Amino acid sequence: MRLDRWVQGYGAYGRSSARRLIASGCVMVGGVVVRDGLADVGEFDEVRIDGDVVQSREAYYLMLNKPAGCVSATVDSEHETVMDLLDVPYAGELHIAGRLDKESTGLLLLTNDGRWSRLITEPAEAIPKRYLVTTEGDIGLEDVESFREGFYFAYEDVTTLPAELEILTSRCARVVIYEGKYHQIKRMFHAVGNRVTSLHREMVGGIRLDDGLGEGGYRVLTEAEVDFW
Ligand code: URA
């Protein structure tokens, strides 16, 4: 958000008094005096006015190894949710950056940083998501081309972006998709006459599920993971 608008909103200042306050050097963002009202201020930047801290909020980023059977939601009246697995005081602030179906397992990202989660999930960003998939029937060599060409999903009236299918064994494959439509991978296999029997997310962008995390385990992301792109 623009600093002049932020100051206006914070202090119920008029536009010109907010600009005067900023120009006079009374406003610091991230420990630095900023005199340009057009400068950007993020929701996690520390802001001081006349030396007083008026915004100070920590950003949290977690990876969780989601077990099967628990729901990717913050609340659910019937089932255990991924939030029930977290024992951190800021759990109530978090949201999920890219859900997994109830029976899917693996890498789930949680944060209170809306800008970051939008980057992860925004189709235009085309962040790769890598999955290990097992299927009921044999995976055909011709499926590789079908995944690359994309599938038409009539319900949304869209064709999926080119996806990569790497066949590991007759009924096991790695799939990389660059978007996250409802039940996307299950529907892609359904479109080639097959059925997914297990789905495990291994990687999102540059963030790989930590081998050291057991089912239901979680940890804070490193700075390099948060800034992977
Ligand atoms: N595709 C699916 O079908 N399910 C998931 O959980 C993730 C991708």
Domains, the chain, with CATH or none: 3-55 (3.10.290.10), 61-226 (3.30.2350.10)
Cα end-to-end distance, the chain, whole Å = 22
Average pLDDT over residues 153-169: 96
Q: How much is the mean pLDDT over the chain? A: 95
CB 134 within 8 A of CB 197: yes
Of the given ranges (37-41, 75-79, 144-148, 156-160), which has the lowest mean pLDDT? 75-79
User: Comparing C-alpha atoms, which of 101, 81, 103, 124 is closest to residue 184?
Assistant: 101
Query: Where are the strands (E) in 105-206, listed by range?
Result: 105-111, 129-135, 152-153, 158-159, 164-169, 172-177, 196-204
**3-11 and 15-23 helices, crossing angle to 10°:** 120
Any atom of ligand 1 within 6 Å of the Cβ of 100: yes
Any atom of ligand 1 within 6 Å of the Cβ of 184: yes
Take residue 221 and report the two structure tokens written for it.
Answer: 């992301």
Q: Whose CA is nearest to atom 3 of ligand 1?
A: 183
User: Comparing C-alpha atoms, which of 76, 134, 74, 140 is closest to residue 105?
Assistant: 134
CB atoms within 10 A of CB 168: 12
Most confident of 7-16, 40-49, 120-129, 189-198: 189-198
Average pLDDT over residues 91-115: 96
pLDDT digit string (tens) for 80-96? 999 999 999 999 999 99
Q: How far, in Å, from the CA of 132 to the mean position of ligand 1?
A: 11
What number does the ligand 1 atom closest to the CA of 101 have? 6
Any atom of ligand 1 within 6 Å of the Cβ of 105: no
Residues constituting the chain? 229
In this structure, what are the phi and psi dihedrals at residue 197, rounded to the nearest 5 degrees?
-105, -20
CA gap 60, 111 in Å, rounded: 5
What number does the ligand 1 atom closest to the CA of 103 have? 6
Give pLDDT, residue 13. 81
Q: How far, in Å, from the CA of 200 to the mean position of ligand 1?
A: 9
10: confidence class by pLDDT, cuts 50, 70, 90:
confident
What is the pTM (predicted TM-score) of this model? 0.89
Take residue 13 and report the two structure tokens written for it.
Answer: 């200042």
Give pLDDT, residue 229. 81
What number does the ligand 1 atom closest to the CA of 186 have? 3
Mind telling me the catalytic residues? 101
Q: Whose CA is nearest to atom 2 of ligand 1?
A: 183
Any atom of ligand 1 within 6 Å of the Cβ of 163: no
More confident residue, 76 or 129: 129
What number does the ligand 1 atom closest to the CA of 188 have? 3
Amino acid at 137: G
Any atom of ligand 1 within 6 Å of the Cβ of 183: yes
